[in-house]
Structure 1
Amino acid sequence: MHPHRDDRSLLAVAMGDGRFLIALTGIALALSGGFAILQSLASCFHRTAMRSGWIRRH
């Protein structure tokens, strides 16, 4: 009756051939790496500002 019936599960359809998951993993790694770089730069700038007197402790 149904010539184009698709009996795949929802998980199989969502995963497909795996390209989406690989792309999602790459995006997550790029974002986390960018966040780590941002944190290290912020720490570096804060230490420089403290040493030079731009920021004073209360």
Structure 2
Amino acid sequence: MPNPGQRGLTVSADLIRVIEEFRDNHPELFFTSNPDVVRFAIRKLVADYEKEHKALSPVLQ
């Protein structure tokens, strides 16, 4: 969430880390568009979060 007066997006450091890992681990996909990489990173973070918190949350079961 941006602070009052702040413009632009605030992103999680984890999201940036996953994007960088994807780029590093898949050099054959050098020309993959950034939106595709961001979608991959978001899906991976959601899957990791659900796996980690599934036992704690009845909503995710």
TM-score, normalised with respect to structure 2 = 0.39
Greater helix share, 1 or 2?
Answer: 1
Decide which structure has the larger Cα Rg and report it: 1
TM-score, normalised with respect to structure 1 = 0.41
Structure with the bigger RCO (C-alpha within 8 Å, sep 6+) is 2
